[in-house]
Structure 1
Amino acid sequence: MFQRHRRTRTIVRGLLASFAALAVAGPVRAAAPPSAPQLSDGKVKIAILTDMSSVYADSTGRGSVIAAEMAVKDFGGTLGGQPIEVVSADHQNKPDIGSNIARQWYDREGVDVILDVPTSSVALAVQQIAREKGKMLIVSGGGTSDLTGPACSPTGLHWTYDTYALSHVSGHAAVKQGLDTWAFITADYAFGHALERDGAAEVKRSGGKVLSTVRAPFATADFSSFLIQAQGSGAKLIAFANAGGDTVNAIKQAHEFGIVQGGQKLLALLINIDDVHSLGIEVAQGLLLTTAFYWDRDDATRAFAKRFKEIYGLIPTMHQAGVYSAVGHYLKAVQAAGTDDALKVVAKMREMPVEDMFAHGGRVREDGRMVHDMYLMQVKTPKESTGEWDLYKLIATVPGDEAFRPLAEGNCPLVKATGN
């Protein structure tokens, strides 16, 4: 009995001592939640620099802004309790205007990352500014493969497609089908030149020949003289190394000239689903093309396209779907890195696989290229199509490592510096 009381008094004294110690130390606190990312100005600011008024407006433009806003909403709208803001501007397809907007955004308006940037000459100019200022650029609309080649940047990423992938997938397939003599009609600026260069190289590599090249000014209304020259070359295939409204006009006029009826084939090295929709399936049927995204590929792409169309009225292009993917991956990387510092975010984006409705198992290489599957498509015939936007049939899925230029062949100084 005595020993039991003594043990009880000992326990009580121990508890009292513990309470006293806690009183001196202060109240018990719950474990702290994970720290919020350290944001340089208290928020994340995403900017869409795009074409709002010219030949790429439907393929990028307001639709790219909507895609970015959808990605922000799907992420949750905030990052670590801090706001995520999306702003946009029209670069009018002019490098000087795009450069001025980029400088203002980076220097005075607290923009953390610029995205989209159709028109390769604008993308190249903005990439140089972003490199100088240590800020991020993620290109979805611009196509030149030089962005991850000689002009590569530690803070620049190329997300959706490039001229090498378009040319490699389409060119190889066409030559294999026996279309081994080509005539190019090329947009006379950086993107067109790169597309023609990469396309011609692929034709020759696959055993074909280039018989004719002609360059047309940007936003050309009348392609008749260029089409006559290409037609007169006797090439089995006429390839359009242009985009947007230029491609649409060229294919329409080729149809009016009866070029396909005369036995020559047409290939659009870059054409978006809005362009094919604009042309109409009667005109575009049978056209081969390469794309990074098709809305009817699987359940996830169909669900995204449905939401997008409810807002925008059109099915998303690959550029717009690429913006959605890039914004989502960027925000995940900022969260994982715990900072919006550009170099640390890029490192985290390289470390994390890209897994979303746009890309499965995508990855960001040292040169800034996001590598993912590409798709060879053919425009359906009117009999094959079951609806307004049922425009493509899948010919082949090309794995990213085959579709995009090998890392060692791009002449990116960053790759040389790392010895890869």
Structure 2
Amino acid sequence: MARLLTSVAILGATATAAMAQVSDDVVKIGILNDQSGVYADFGGTYSYQAALMAVEDFGGTVLDMPIEVVTADHQNKPDVASNIARQWYDTEQVDAIMELTTSSVALAVQALSAEADKITMTTGAATTELTGAQCTANGFHWAYDTHALAVGTGGALVEQGGDSWFFLTADYAFGYSLEEQTGAYVTANGGEVLGSVRHPLSTNDFSSFLLQAQASGAKVIGLANAGLDTQNAIKSAAEFGIVQGGQRLAALLFTLAEVHGLGAEAAQGLTLTESFYWNRTDESREFAQRFFERTQAMPNMVHAGTYSAVLQYLKAIEAAGTDETAAVSEQLHTLPVNDVFSQGGTVGANGRLITDVYLLEVKAPADITTDWDYFNVLATIPGSEAFIDPAESGCALVAAN
């Protein structure tokens, strides 16, 4: 009996010690993104549902403490996002912020989080600056970035003879990064960039921008934008007969959500890059079906990437035995990423998840036999090719290691 009581006492002490390692007796994750603007389908409330799925699949608790997910709409405004993040950190005890659609928002919140000694895991923004010159010790970039899109979509079109480009670029950090990365890839492979024009986020009229692109004579018009902006640009291009006139459109950031919104008839033949496709494996199909039951939509790479980021964060807390930021960050840099989104993924010293991405082509409507099955998988691009080597990223943290 004495031995049994001693064992119970040790177990109780161990459990108490583990519980004491969770701040405020709860692990709280914030999903901060655009829920009412041009990127509402790209991420939006769908990413929140993906985060809830990850918590449920993990078991609902970590280190015997509950997990809570909160969410808010940053309206694509860095100041709004920063104010929400401060409130979450200062008064609501949020431990980590994720998703962060819109590169200018992600950069602002990642910098603020570094000051607050908190973790960010960006799945919705694209700029390589997050793990480049503006990297932070506790900032992580999941899902995709502008370099992967340039290598995937840009590379495919150059190989197909699209060796002269003109860019329609969203006028903020994401658009600049996507244009720069794709343009550099085009020129490095023997092509040329004939020019570019920048448009405001969420513009309703692409006429003047498309006329400039058409007049350039470029073989490829690169749409360095996303969400509804890309959809509207493609619709306007059809009205101007741009494709019929012999020029090609490159939707540099276009996902399943936008293809569904635009429709297969208008999107057919487009080449794009995603790091997840729901109808690729049995595991991805099972995950997608559960996601569909909650949302009535199939997941794109942002939704699946958010699921992965939340799941990996919880695994890191469990491995660290605490939710203390430095200890969890160390585990996030160390643990392999194996889930429905990434198989054998690794995280670089700059916080970049290195994982495979997929070159996809939108099927002709006659070839679509299952709802939401819009893509042919043209190629798998290894993560080592898709993403910048951390040693060459410009992140000072890598040079310090």
- With the shorter chain as reference, the TM-score category is over 0.9
Match of 1:295 among 264, 278, 289: 278
Instruction: Please state whether the residue corresponding to 1:271 is helix, strand or coil.
Output: coil
For 1:174, the equivalent position in structure 2 comes to: 157
Runs of 5+ unmatched residues, structure 2? none
Instruction: Please state whether the residue corresponding to 1:184 is helix, strand or coil.
Output: strand
User: C-alpha separation between the residues in 2 aligned to 1:174 and 1:255?
Assistant: 19
- How far does residue 80 in structure 1 lie from its aligned partner after superposition? 2.3
**1:84-113 per-position Cα deviation (integer Å, ceiling 9, x unaligned):** 001001101000000011011111111010
User: C-alpha separation between the residues in 2 aligned to 1:210 and 1:409?
Assistant: 24
**1:235-286 per-position Cα deviation (integer Å, ceiling 9, x unaligned):** 1111100000100000011112111111111111101111111111111111
User: C-alpha separation between the residues in 2 aligned to 1:165 and 1:328?
Assistant: 23
- How far does residue 173 in structure 1 lie from its aligned partner after superposition? 1.5
Structure 2 residue 65 is the aligned partner of structure 1 residue 82: yes
**1:39-64 per-position Cα deviation (integer Å, ceiling 9, x unaligned):** 01111001000111100011111101
User: C-alpha separation between the residues in 1 aligned to 2:50 and 2:4?
Assistant: 50
RMSD: 1.4
Match of 1:269 among 235, 243, 252: 252
Structure 2 residue 60 is the aligned partner of structure 1 residue 64: no
User: C-alpha separation between the residues in 2 aligned to 1:26 and 1:331?
Assistant: 32
For 1:318, the equivalent position in structure 2 comes to: 301
TM-score normalised by the chain length of structure 1: 0.92
- How far does residue 27 in structure 1 lie from its aligned partner after superposition? 4.5
Alignment identity in percent? 54
For 2:174, the equivalent position in structure 1 comes to: 191
Q: Counterparts of 1:51-200 in structure 2 under 5 Å?
A: 51-200=34-183
- How far does residue 409 in structure 1 lie from its aligned partner after superposition? 1.8
For 1:15, the equivalent position in structure 2 comes to: none
- How far does residue 189 in structure 1 lie from its aligned partner after superposition? 0.5
Q: CA 1:229–1:81 in structure 2 vs 1: closer, same or farther (change >3 Å)?
A: same
User: C-alpha separation between the residues in 1 aligned to 2:255 and 2:85?
Assistant: 26
Structure 2 residue 11 is the aligned partner of structure 1 residue 32: yes
Instruction: Please state whether the residue corresponding to 1:83 is helix, strand or coil.
Output: strand
The worse-fitting range, judged by mean Cα deviation, of 132-141 and 382-391 is: 382-391
User: C-alpha separation between the residues in 2 aligned to 1:318 and 1:26?
Assistant: 51
**1:394-420 per-position Cα deviation (integer Å, ceiling 9, x unaligned):** 1110010110012222110101112xx
Q: CA 1:158–1:26 in structure 2 vs 1: closer, same or farther (change >3 Å)?
A: closer
For 1:247, the equivalent position in structure 2 comes to: 230
User: C-alpha separation between the residues in 2 aligned to 1:377 and 1:317?
Assistant: 12
User: C-alpha separation between the residues in 1 aligned to 2:154 and 2:67?
Assistant: 41
Instruction: Please state whether the residue corresponding to 1:383 is helix, strand or coil.
Output: helix
Q: CA 1:82–1:382 in structure 2 vs 1: closer, same or farther (change >3 Å)?
A: same
Q: CA 1:27–1:49 in structure 2 vs 1: closer, same or farther (change >3 Å)?
A: closer
* Larger Cα-atom Rg: 1
For 2:267, the equivalent position in structure 1 comes to: 284
User: C-alpha separation between the residues in 2 aligned to 1:169 and 1:206?
Assistant: 13
- Whether the aligned pair in 1 keeps the contact of 2:123 and 2:306 (CA below 8 Å) is yes
Alignment-mate amino acid for residue 65 of structure 1 = Y
The worse-fitting range, judged by mean Cα deviation, of 171-180 and 90-99 is: 171-180
For 2:318, the equivalent position in structure 1 comes to: 335
Instruction: Please state whether the residue corresponding to 1:62 is helix, strand or coil.
Output: helix
Structure 1 stretches (4+) deviating beyond 2 angstroms?
25-37
Match of 2:205 among 222, 237, 240: 222
The worse-fitting range, judged by mean Cα deviation, of 409-418 and 393-402 is: 409-418
- Whether the aligned pair in 1 keeps the contact of 2:220 and 2:248 (CA below 8 Å) is yes
For 1:11, the equivalent position in structure 2 comes to: none
Structure 2 residue 388 is the aligned partner of structure 1 residue 410: no
- Whether the aligned pair in 1 keeps the contact of 2:63 and 2:321 (CA below 8 Å) is no
